[in-house]
Amino acid sequence: MSIARMNTAPRLTAVGLTRTFKGHAAIQDISFTVREGEFVAVLGPSGAGKTTLFRCLTGLLAPDRGEVRVDNDDIVRLHGRARRRIAVVFQQFNLVSRLSALDNVLAGRLGHVPVWRGVLRRFDRADRLLALECLDRVGLLRQAMQRADTLSGGQQQRVAIARAMAQRPSLIVADEPVASLDPAAGAGVLELLQRIARTDGVGVICSLHQVHLARTYADRVVGLSQGRKVIDSPVCRFDERAFGKLYGNSAGNDGDPA
């Protein structure tokens, strides 16, 4: 991470996050920050606590101890329209299949308009222009009126990212966004998230299983093992020694964790 980015404001601050289930600590005393314009990859073997961590970061799960702050505001106090500052990109896209790509992106404006407009899908011209701009930025302007379920997996994930952008968030939380995609489509999605971070000043935190993708697109790596943070370093320092500390001998066919 560059010195300039180190001096930017934190978009996300996690402090001492701990969550237990039936006496077992899924995550324990995890702290880190994601700064403006920074892309942070979260790595770790299966069962390391990544899912629990991400559920706490998005407010879907309350930690037993610790706090999560977005733009220095406690996530517990973010309600209603304030929640739009956090956009989530899921592994399975979470699109409404029968609606067009444009209508799915407009769902990202729901936190900005009166409820009745959202229910009736009566968005004003400014919202529609913004949604079209977001589709253009992800390379899908020509598919704006196409049903979501007729798009490829990579295209659907791009629509999901366009929807996240339409929220005008401070933070994008991407939970294994490329796990269901082929390598080329996955690389394209991560390149897109990286570009959004750089261009819009959004903080991006992304869980991944593929170490080579983290090394290619992330600024920093946060590594979890058995519920604890064992690595928090610039990606340039995530060398073979760090890999061994995080994964031990559990390597996949391409040198990534299985």
133-179 confidence digits (pLDDT tens)? 999 999 999 999 999 999 999 999 999 999 999 999 999 999 999 99
**In this predicted model, which residue has the larger pLDDT, 2 or 87?**
87
What sign does the CA torsion over 29, 227, 57, 8 have?
positive
Q: Which residues pair with 221 in a beta bridge?
A: 41, 233
Question: Which residues have C-beta within 8 Å of that of residue 97, sequence separation ≥ 6?
Answer: 147, 148, 149
Tell me how long the chain is. 258
pLDDT value of position 248 = 79
Residue 87 lies in a domain: no
Q: Which residues pair with 73 in a beta bridge?
A: 70
Q: How much is the average pLDDT of 183-192? A: 94
pLDDT value of position 252 = 39
**In this predicted model, which residue has the larger pLDDT, 7 or 218?**
218
pLDDT value of position 149 = 95
pLDDT value of position 111 = 63
Q: How much is the average pLDDT of 203-224? A: 95
For 112, the domain range is: 99-167
Whether the predicted pLDDT of 257 surpasses 80 = no
Residue 59 lies in a domain: no
Residue 116 lies in a domain: yes
pLDDT value of position 256 = 40
C-alpha span between 254 and 258 (Å, rounded):
9
Whether the predicted pLDDT of 79 surpasses 80 = no
Residue indicated by tokens 């366009």: 162
Q: Which residues pair with 42 in a beta bridge?
A: 207, 222
Tokens of 56: 């706490």
Residue 35 lies in a domain: no
Helix H or strand E segment including 116: helix 115-120
pLDDT value of position 106 = 92
217-242 confidence digits (pLDDT tens)? 999 999 999 999 999 999 999 988 88
Longest dimension (CA), the chain: 55
Tokens of 47: 């069962």
Arithmetic mean of pLDDT over the chain: 87
Residue 82 lies in a domain: no
Q: Please state the pTM of the whole predicted model.
A: 0.88
In total, how many domains does the chain have? 1
Confidence of residue 73 (pLDDT cuts 50, 70, 90): confident
Residue 23 to residues 26, 27, 63, 198: CA-CA distances in angstroms? 9, 12, 14, 41
Residue 144 lies in a domain: yes
Q: Which residues pair with 69 in a beta bridge?
A: 13, 74
Nearest to 192 by CA among 139, 124, 237: 139
pLDDT value of position 251 = 46
Residue 207 lies in a domain: no
Q: How much is the average pLDDT of 101-115? A: 79
Residue 115 lies in a domain: yes
Whether the predicted pLDDT of 6 surpasses 80 = no
pLDDT value of position 160 = 95
C-alpha span between 176 and 168 (Å, rounded):
21
**In this predicted model, which residue has the larger pLDDT, 24 or 3?**
24
Question: Which residues have C-beta within 8 Å of that of residue 156, sequence separation ≥ 6?
Answer: 93, 95, 148
